[in-house]
Chain A
Amino acid sequence: GAGVSQSPSNKVTEKGKDVELRCDPISGHTALYWYRQSLGQGLEFLIYFQGNSAPDKSGLPSDRFSAERTGGSVSTLTIQRTQQEDSAVYLCASSTGDSSYEQYFGPGTRLTVT
């Protein structure tokens, strides 16, 4: 079946602009996760949704970052007033929400802030 999809695949934006990244999870997966991977850095967990609810937003790097999920499916990660340090690959993953906790990643969005 179809995997996790993300759009856009690449985004170049100017410092100070807002960007919106989209994730469409595997059909039927109730849990959705956002991570980012900076050059030479490990994967950093940002936020997760169980259904439409995000129980813990403490992983978001700053208040410029926000995320939402509607209809238990598509999620958007919004970065306001982008900074150069926001440049990274933003990865979305989904899981069934059962006790296996196995997460499957999408192809990512490469964000470059100039």
Chain B
Amino acid sequence: QKEVEQNSGPLSVPEGAIASLNCTYSDRGSQSFFWYRQYSGKSPELIMSIYSNGDKEDGRFTAQLNKASQYVSLLIRDSQPSDSATYLCAVNTYSGGGADGLTFGKGTHLIIQP
């Protein structure tokens, strides 16, 4: 059974600070890792993907992957009130038959305090 674990929060961060979101996964065969942002009442929006160990930066977002520790994180620099949302970690394991569905964590609710 593939599992993805996230702290549900809420995680409260002052505006302008760095928000750090963490995720662990159970399946060592997992190969693709994603962070989605979901505003209340809206559908998930892809913000980062990462496939190899290390850091990947895109604007104010940095995704970090450590496959040995089965750990993925997302850093948001210079946090803005508009970053307040639920952040979903998702993991994909390619089965050889094609692109499987993603396994999602339950999300971390992030609140940026003005």
Q: Which residues of A contact B (CB under 8 A)?
A: 31, 33, 35, 41-43, 45-48, 50, 55-56, 59, 89, 91, 95, 97, 100-108
Contacting residues, chain B, for A45 (C-beta < 8 A):
100-104
Can you identify 15 A-B contacts, CB atoms within 8 angstroms? A31-B98, A33-B101, A33-B102, A41-B106, A43-B44, A43-B102, A45-B100, A46-B101, A48-B100, A59-B101, A101-B49, A103-B34, A103-B102, A105-B46, A106-B43
Contacting residues, chain B, for A95 (C-beta < 8 A):
99
* A101 and B44 within 8 A (CB): no
Q: In this complex, what residue of A is CB-closest to B32?
A: A101
Given contacts A102-B46, A105-B45, contact A48 B99 (CB under 8 A): yes
* A105 and B106 within 8 A (CB): no
Known: A55-B98, A105-B45, A105-B46. 17 other contacts (CB 8 A): A31-B98, A31-B99, A33-B101, A41-B106, A42-B104, A43-B88, A48-B99, A50-B99, A59-B101, A91-B44, A95-B99, A97-B99, A104-B46, A105-B36, A106-B43, A107-B43, A108-B43
* B101 and A35 within 8 A (CB): yes
> Shortest Cβ distance from A52 into chain B, in angstroms?
13
> Shortest Cβ distance from B30 into chain A, in angstroms?
11
A106 and B45 alpha carbons, distance in the complex (Å):
9
Contacting residues, chain B, for A55 (C-beta < 8 A):
97-98
A91 and B101 alpha carbons, distance in the complex (Å):
12
Contact of B105 among A31, A42, A59 (CB under 8 A): A42
Given contacts A91-B43, A101-B32, A101-B92, contact A42 B106 (CB under 8 A): yes
